[in-house]
Amino acid sequence: MSSLPLQHDFSLRAFNTFGIEARAHAYLPVDGADTLRAVRDDAALAALPRLVLGGGSNLLLTRDFDGLVLHMRGAGMEIVGEDEAFTYVRAAAGENWHGFVQWTLAQGLGGLENLSLIPGSVGAAPIQNIGAYGVEVKDRFHALRAFDFTSGEVITLDRAACCFGYRDSVFKHALRDRAVVLDVTFALPRQWQANANYADVAQALQERGAAQPTARDIADAVIAIRTRKLPDPARIGNAGSFFKNPIVSAQQRDALLAQHLGLVSYRQDDGSYKLAAGWLIDRCGWKGKSIGPAGVYEKQALVLVNLGGAAGADVARLAKAIQDDVLEKFGVALEPEPVFI
Ligand code: EPU
């Protein structure tokens, strides 16, 4: 019999930002590797399907989860070293991402300001390589420690080992269902430079009269933009962008542009193009529309919202209708960003 603080038939409603009701067969708060090791050593627990939960901001619960939810709650943030180029800061997986970013700024350390106000936890940030306003986690990432359920060891992964891509990493592929992130170390440049090229950010800084912006100015600009454009999950259930921006060939983008004036696209380093999924969905007329209690946010068509009492299936039905429309009108397949359970 384990002495772990397990709970059974546990409601996950308060732990997903969509605010969807679903129950977990078993739920366990996790503060570090020892708890995970105890799970691994317990034959009954180790046999259950696992769901690692951070801030629950990238999750769509379409059913009850007949397994073990591992809720990462470990806390702690510290400066762990520096060299000529970087200051290294480490945060435990359970820390709130925005709280951590604000803490680095309060220490006088710039580098993460463009990623202010992204919902979620520190441990989840590298899994989908969160990004906003021209910066991704991979750009400031140094290393992370994770518990490996296969070996029972704590492993350290550097940037190359994480195989970061657009909203993607090794944790969605080879290490899926295997490694659980314990803490993450970031390398923040000592010679800080503003990254304010993104049009929305440049405009917000101009409005504020910040010609030589500090990291704090950029954080404030990003917070203002996000507050204006994106719904606060504490008030309207949502999981941020519901779809990834699709990547298409230059040929396909040119053909689309010839047919659809105003198509928003961004050239990638390899010559392909990322299309603004929000624009595609908007053009299909979905902005502000709903199916039952699931809706498309009125200020950003890429964000699906729980209008009140939605089940995961309601949101999934709306998402499917949007995917079908975008495919029919533009010939482009949209891929959801959140994990579906
Ligand atoms: N647009 C529309 N109609 C809409 C929404 C967008 O025409 O309803 C157009 C905008 O006018 C703009 C373009 O689409 O020209 C892109 O919109 P926006 O700048 O709002 O960014 P996004 O591509 O929709 C991405 C990320 C966001 C991130 C922002 C800023 C993805 C899937 N989303 O959104 O990340 O905050 O850029 O960098 O890559 C998230 O992943 O959850 C997220 C919020």
Per-residue pLDDT band for 211 (boundaries 50, 70, 90) equals confident
Residues 45 and 104 in one domain: no
Domain that holds residue 179: 77-189
Task: Kindly tell me if the per-residue pLDDT of 103 is higher than 60.
Answer: yes
Output the pLDDT for position 281: 98
CA distance 247 to 182: 32
CA distance 249 to 338: 24
Per-residue pLDDT band for 1 (boundaries 50, 70, 90) equals very low
Compute the distance from residue 89 Cα to the ligand 1 centre, in Å. Answer: 29
Handedness of CA 232, 236, 237, 241 (dihedral sign): negative
Per-residue pLDDT band for 247 (boundaries 50, 70, 90) equals very high
Mutate to test the pocket of ligand 1, among 263, 279, 332 (most ligand atoms within 8 A of CB): 279
CATH of the domain at 289: 3.90.78.10
Q: What is the mean pLDDT of residues 240-249?
A: 98
Task: Kindly tell me if the per-residue pLDDT of 94 is higher than 70.
Answer: yes
* Nearest alpha carbon, ligand 1 atom 40: 241
Residues 146 and 177 in one domain: yes
φ, ψ at 25 (rounded to 5°): -55, -45
CA of 244, closest atom in ligand 1 = 32
Task: Kindly tell me if the per-residue pLDDT of 322 is higher than 80.
Answer: yes
Catalytic residue among 145, 241, 253, 283: 241
**Is there an atom of ligand 1 within 6 Å of 15 CB?**
no
Catalytic residue among 95, 113, 136, 337: 337
The mean pLDDT of the chain is 97
Task: Kindly tell me if the per-residue pLDDT of 218 is higher than 50.
Answer: yes
CA distance 149 to 39: 9
Domain count, the chain: 3
Q: Is residue 110 part of a domain?
A: yes
CATH of the domain at 18: 3.30.43.10
| 307-320 tens-digit pLDDT | 999 999 999 999 99
In this prediction the pTM is 0.96
> DSSP string spanning 237-279?
EEEEESBPPPEE-HHHHHHHHHHSTT--EEE-TTS-EEE-HHH
CA distance 297 to 128: 22
Q: Is residue 167 part of a domain?
A: yes
Task: Kindly tell me if the per-residue pLDDT of 93 is higher than 50.
Answer: yes
Residues 35 and 84 in one domain: no
Residues 65 and 83 in one domain: no
CA of 166, closest atom in ligand 1 = 39
Compute the distance from residue 142 Cα to the ligand 1 centre, in Å. Answer: 27
| 270-313 tens-digit pLDDT | 999 999 999 999 999 999 999 999 999 999 999 999 999 999 99
